[in-house]
Amino acid sequence: MPPITTISRAMRHTHLALALLVLLTTTTDAWGGESDGRLDIYWIDVEGGAATLLVTPAGETLLIDSGNPGRRDPDRIVKVVTEVAGCKRIDHLVTTHYHGDHYGGAITLATLLPIGTLYDNGQFEGMPDNPGKAYFDIRAEKKEVLAPGSEIKLRQSDKTGAAAIKVRCLGTRQQFVLAGEATPANDSICSDAREKNRDGSDNANSVVLHIGFGPWKMLDAGDLTWNQEAKLVCPKNLIGLVDVYQTTHHGLDASNNPLVIRSIEPRVAIMNNGATKGGMPDVFEALRAQKSIQAIYQLHKNLTPAGADLNEPAEYIANLEKECAGNYVHLSVAPDGASYKVSIPANKHERQFTTRDAEGKK
């Protein structure tokens, strides 16, 4: 048997090593995306709902929508937040509108992870769809009602040369920010405007978010529907040009007004569709007709009877079967915002893109 002093010395070394390991693990989990200075975005598969997770260079998490009720979607969100992104909480949660595939997972999610600030439309006059007491009683450190022009305050990276991140609400509850005097009229595109039947559901009240990271820009308009979408770009373009367009309303043709697609000229479109929800013919037609678009990604292969002509090549689709593993799409923006890559880790696809406003500047 070794001397007692030898055993004690070995135990001290073991304890020190374990303590160091715990410290390193805790530090990594707590700061998430901070180590590489990139902005990471994950489109989590919630089977035709919405759950878009941003992890900032400062390590904060912003989740836009929370999928469906039950355990499946909250569990998938928690897995990406903790195991993939290496974070421990949802610092900011936005509910774009009160439909179950967008707010439904929040009630359970709040019991699984701490939530910092919950942003939504609150309770308002004429609210067509009420999420109920359980939703409004969700435990969060703070709650805020968004309005056109509101900004979600995020910590900025303190690294030299890091791009600034900005998330701004362009519209909600069918009200939108005002165009600046210098914003030109969008006459050539707006002359093609046509209305559809009025949408009386809460889709029309969706929160519209513009996400900027230095020169890189993205649009997430929840489930905003056709006639309201037109107000974002007619008579003036309130959005500007973007690099990434999260197709509105899962790629349903009640949304994705071509006026918007033509006005914002996205480089990449990412569709949070389901196996039999979204990805409709008119939407694919509008996306494929837009010359600026270099790639279209889908969370699911369209498995409807007409789906054969409504899918991109398999490498651009995260889930090919109805009974799937819930694979996600990952987008990562360089620390200066000048380039970004989109990947589907499950099939090892990865493609690099140059940010529009950074072209020719290097």
CATH 3.60.15.10 fits 33-358, yes or no: yes
- At 192 the pLDDT is 97
The alpha carbon dihedral of 124, 125, 130, 133 has a sign of positive
pLDDT at 62 over 80: yes
C-alpha to C-alpha distances, 296 to 120, 165, 237, 345, 346, nearest whole angstrom: 29, 24, 23, 16, 17
pLDDT at 4 over 50: no
Full-model pTM: 0.90
**Closest to 106 in 3D by CA, of 166, 66, 164, 140:** 66
- At 306 the pLDDT is 82
User: Which residues partner with 81 through β-bridges?
Assistant: none
- At 12 the pLDDT is 47
Q: How confident is the model at residue 34 (pLDDT cuts 50, 70, 90)?
A: low
**Mean pLDDT of the residues in the chain:** 92
- At 170 the pLDDT is 99
Alpha carbons 167 and 120: distance in angstroms, whole number: 14
Sequence-ordered list of residues with C-beta below 8 angstroms from that of 232, at least 6 positions apart, any chain: 170, 171, 176, 208, 221, 224, 238, 239, 260, 263
pLDDT at 32 over 50: no
Alpha carbons 287 and 27: distance in angstroms, whole number: 42
> What are the tokens at 152?
């979600």
Q: Which is more confident, 36 or 68?
A: 68
Cα dihedral 313, 314, 317, 320 in deg (nearest 10): 140
The alpha carbon dihedral of 113, 328, 342, 244 has a sign of negative
Residue-wise pLDDT tens digits, 264-275: 999 999 999 999
pLDDT at 283 over 70: yes
Alpha carbons 333 and 163: distance in angstroms, whole number: 10
Of the chain, the percentage scoring pLDDT greater than 90 comes to 86
Alpha carbons 213 and 165: distance in angstroms, whole number: 4
Q: Over the range 159-172, which residues count as b (16 or more CB within 10 Å of their CB) and which as e?
A: eeebbebbbebbbb
Q: How confident is the model at residue 362 (pLDDT cuts 50, 70, 90)?
A: low
Element containing residue 318 per DSSP (H, E) = strand 317-319
